[in-house]
Amino acid sequence: PAASATSVTVSQCNTSSIQCCNSVQSSSSQSSDLLLGLLGIVLDTVDGLIGIGCSPISVLGLGNGGCNASPVCCENNSFGGLISIGCVVIQL
């Protein structure tokens, strides 16, 4: 099933954290738990969604539909694009 989350606009997101993710999942899903465990990432609480296979979207790329997958705004993108944590879906 598709992940559900509150959608925000680009102006509500810190532009340095806009990501285009191949997959977006609930932070409480079994597959998210498995992936986080395999990567050795221990999180007590995660608000929002988990983005998988993410790459940054530049402000210049927003006007031309710069994301064909799931555009999200994430709190933590420090895992090399493999996973982004605390994401919300955004409207480009």
* Nearest-angstrom CA–CA distance, 87 and 77: 9
**Model pTM above 0.75:** no
Say whether pLDDT at 4 is over 60.
Answer: no
Q: Which two tokens stand for residue 18?
A: 């806009």
Sequential DSSP letters for 17-28: GEEEEEEEEETT
Domain positions in the chain are 8-91
pLDDT of 16-62, one tens digit each? 578 889 989 887 788 877 877 787 777 666 667 888 888 887 665 55
**Is residue 21 within 8 Å of residue 69, measured between CB atoms?**
yes
* Nearest-angstrom CA–CA distance, 83 and 90: 17
* Nearest-angstrom CA–CA distance, 84 and 25: 11
Which H or E run includes 34? helix 30-38
